[in-house]
Each structure stands twice: as structure tokens, then as C-alpha cells.
Amino acid sequence: AWARVKRRLRAELGEDVFASWFARLELEAVAGGTARLTVPTRFLKSWIESHYLDRVLNTFKAEVEEIARIEVGVRGTGAPARPVAAGVAKPGPASGPLARLHATSAPIPIAAVAPAAEARNADAGGDLSGTPLDARLTFASFVIGRSNALAHAAAERVANHQGEGALYNPLYLHAGVGLGKTHLLHGIGHAAREAGRRVIYLTADRFMYGFVNALKTQSALAYKERLRGIDLLILDDVQFIQGKSIQAEFGHTINALIDAGRQVVVASDRPPTELEALDERVRSRLGGGLVVEITALDEALRVSILSARLSAVRAAHPGFDVSPQVATYVARAITANGRDLEGAVNRLLAHATLTGTAVTMETAESAIRDLVKNREPKRIKIEDIQKLVASRYNVSRSDILSERRTAAVVKPRQIAMYLSKVLTLRSLPEIGRRFGGRDHTTVLHAVRKIEKQIGEDAVLGDEVELLKRMLQD
């Protein structure tokens, strides 16, 4: 039943909202009409409690009638969840950060940040039209980098193609989750529609649903004709196409469109050869056009996607400010995909709204903690610290090791000493030796001084935090 509750939540709230808030929600126990759920962070707990408790309760009730209450706890702390009954969850007297959130904002963050996802799933009606296109997912908002340049170029050419016949038919894009397939498909759909072409965009689910429905109402023929009467068919996530008769229909549809010179664009999480569920002939047809892979986002691309996202959000929330240090940290920490980057921006915004304060390195870290892959802590070398700090402050490593005492060199030298003390197990005398043969009291002085300055100067604090994290991953 729990799996069904989660599926329902995903369907009702949309993929992005679900991934941001509910992907890590787990059921711990059900007792006496109370379902106890857990999440990995306190932040997620308070967010779900303040925004989604009724939703979760009602969804749960729909599956398991006896459930009357929901409790949310934080995993791994051992602390018992503070019980909050759904429906009376709103904090009573208006005080504290939660109250501020309710007072100032209510639906701001989610509505403003992820309208797209909700819109995407909103139309679950029974007509035979396609899934609506998400207005946000256009070529204009797509950031191009090394890993997706080819896919993007092919998508644009297909979308803007004029005249008879089709280019690369089908265009087949494949990539892991969150790498921009759906975004490109919607971009193609928008551009082709603007050019006056008849476009249908369908997810695999929607394609199957359409068929099952059509079969039920004995309008399968009409459905097929409708599909075949268009200029461009876009099919997302074809790896989910299941069921013998539907696969057969899928094959017929693709063949008919391609044979008639209509453009077909397909996306999947794997190359056509690995679509085991599909018939060999359908697979080879799918692979018979242009197959392009989008590979993992490199760091430069992550930084660009993140800053594009941040400025879009900032346009809607002028008070929301994220320092370049925090942005760099997030783009370095979240290596997996665009969806997690987007999730991270949602979290930062929610955090800022909840607490009414600027996003610091600390709050950023706790907000995105569960999106960051756990990695083995790394052995850090003093030499690497010196190199990194030098390049960050535009001096050379030999400046840092030298006797020079100009402020431009002293400060990075002291920061490097401080980082050597906190990030390595070296003793003060050892660190002194590695910094051009200095005395251990010099090192101690530098460590104390930086410690003190970090306490007083938040910008320096963030800067040092950023350096730490750059060294740690």
C-alpha cells in the first residue's frame, strides 16, 4: 500500500515536486490508525509538515481507510517524532520561522519554482490528445554544454526543418535521468508548433493509456488515425512501453509515421539496442535514424544550469540571494543531474523563506545534504591546499612558501596554514616545515588569526568553507 501511496503522490504532485520532497519519505510503522513516516532531515520534516501533511494523509486514507493520523520523524536521530495531527498542523500563534512562512508566503516556493511539473501532470483526462507541453521547457531555457551540444543541435534541426520528408527519422535521444531529454523534447514541440506543424507529445504512460482507453471505447482505429495524421510525434520515456499488444501498436505507429515521411522523435534512458521489451524489428527501426546520447553534465554545465535557474527564481523572489560561493558549492556537490540541481534551488529558496535569512554555506549544506552523494572522505595533501589557495587568490605557490610579507601574500598563506591544520593530521611543526621552513608558533598564530576572522567576517567564513569543500571532493 505504501508503494501505491507514493505513486499517487508522484502522479498528483508531479515528478519535480515529488523528487524534491517525497522521494526520501519512508514508512516506518502503522499503529492504531497512525502512520509513522520518516525523512532524512529536520528540514524536510518541517517542510512536509507545513505544506503537505493533509495531502499525504488524504492520499494515505484513500489507500488504507483506517489511517487517521500522520506523524513525520527524522531518520537516524533516534529522537521520537513530535506528533502532528494532520489538519491541525498549522502552528497556532504566529511566531517563529514557520509562522513567518505562513504569514508571508504560503504557496510561493513550490508554485513559483515548479509550476511546470504540476502542469505536466494536470491533464490526466481521457481525451486522445497528447500530454501538454511545459511552457518553461524551451530551447531558450536550455543551457548548452559539451555533454548535450549534439543532442541540442539535432533537436533544433528537427524542430526547424522545413519542407518535405523528415530529417533523421527517428531522432532518438538517450541519457540517464535528469540530463535534459524531456526538456529538449518539449523544446522541439514548442518550436515545431510555432512553425505551424501538427505536433503530439506523449509520454509512454500516456501513449499506453490512450490505447487502452481507445480499445475500451472501441475507438482504437480513430486513435491510430489521429496519431498518423500529424507532422511530428514525440514520445518520451519509451523504455516504459509495456504489454504485448501495446508494443505491437507502438511498432505499427512508428512504422506508419516513418514510412509516410512524418518526423518521429523518441527519448529513452537507454540506447535502442537495450530496449529488451520491444520486438527486434521495432528496436532496429528506432535505431535506424540518428541516435544521440546526452552524457553526464560536466561541472561548467552544472554551474551554468544552476545560475540560469537561480536568476529565474530571483526574478520572482527579489529577496532571494545566493552568494557565488554557495552557488559554486552546490554545483560542485550535486553531480548527478539537472533535476537534482533544480531540487537544490527549490530547497535553498524554501530554506530562505522558512528562516527569512540569507542562504549561508551551512544552510545550503543542510538543505541539500540528502541530494549529495556520500563520498569517501579524501586524504588531503598540504601541497594541494597551497596550490588551490594560491590559485584562488591569484598568487603563486612559491609566493606562499616565500618570505614575502605583503598583504596579498600573507592572507592566503595564513588561510592555507589554517586549512592545513583543520584538514590534515599534520602537527604544527610539520606544517611549518612545509611552508618554507617556518616556526610552529608562526603556524599557530595564523590558525588563531583565521579562526578569529572567520568568526567576525561571514564572507571570509564562506570563502574558507568553499575552499574546504573544494579540497574535500
Return residues touching ligand ADP (CB under 6 A).
137, 141-143, 148, 175, 177-183, 305, 338-339, 342
Output the smallest distance, CB 237 to ligand ADP, in A. 8
For residue 338, the partner it binds in ligand ADP, Mg ion, none, with Cβ less than 5 to 8 A by kind, is: ligand ADP
For residue 51, the partner it binds in ligand ADP, Mg ion, none, with Cβ less than 5 to 8 A by kind, is: none
Instruction: Return the number of the residue (71 or 134) whose C-beta is nearest Mg ion.
Output: 134
180 assigned binding-site residue? yes
| Crossing angle between the packed helical segments 458-472 and 382-392, to the nearest 10 degrees | 130
**Mask: binding to Mg ion, 166-205, rule CB under 5 A, as x and -?**
---------------xx-----------------------
Output the smallest distance, CB 18 to ligand ADP, in A. 12
Instruction: Return the number of the residue (57 or 179) whose C-beta is nearest ligand ADP.
Output: 179
Q: Cell 610539520: give the residue.
A: 430
CA distances, 108 to each of 23, 102, 461 (Å):
21, 10, 30
Output the smallest distance, CB 136 to ligand ADP, in A. 7
- Give the residue closest to ligand ADP by C-beta: 338
C-alpha gyration radius of the chain: 27
CA distances, 371 to each of 41, 176, 270, 340, 377 (Å):
11, 16, 23, 7, 17
- Tell me the backbone φ, ψ of residue 421, rounded to 5 degrees: -70, -45
What contacts 153, CB < 8 A, 6 or more positions away?
Answer: none
Instruction: Return the number of the residue (179 or 380) whose C-beta is nearest ligand ADP.
Output: 179
Output the smallest distance, CB 236 to ligand ADP, in A. 7
Q: Tell me how far apart the alpha carbons of residues 194 and 209 are, in angstroms, rounded to a whole number.
A: 27
Strand segments, DSSP code E, in 85-231 are: 171-174, 199-203
182 assigned binding-site residue? yes
Instruction: Return the number of the residue (234 or 305) whose C-beta is nearest ligand ADP.
Output: 305
Output the smallest distance, CB 309 to ligand ADP, in A. 7
Instruction: Return the number of the residue (173 or 334) whose C-beta is nearest Mg ion.
Output: 173
Give the number of residues in contact with Mg ion, rule: CB under 5 A.
Answer: 2
Q: Taking the mean position of all CA atoms in its chain, how far away is CA 159?
A: 26
Q: Exposure pattern of 295-327 as b/e (b: 16+ CB <10 Å)? A: eebeeebbbebbbebbeebeeebeebebbebbb
178 assigned binding-site residue? yes
Q: Cell 553526464: give the residue.
A: 296
Instruction: Return the number of the residue (130 or 412) whose C-beta is nearest ligand ADP.
Output: 130
Binding site, annotated residues for ATP: 178, 180-182
Q: Which residues bind Mg ion (CB under 5 A)?
A: 181-182
Binding site, annotated residues: 178, 180-182
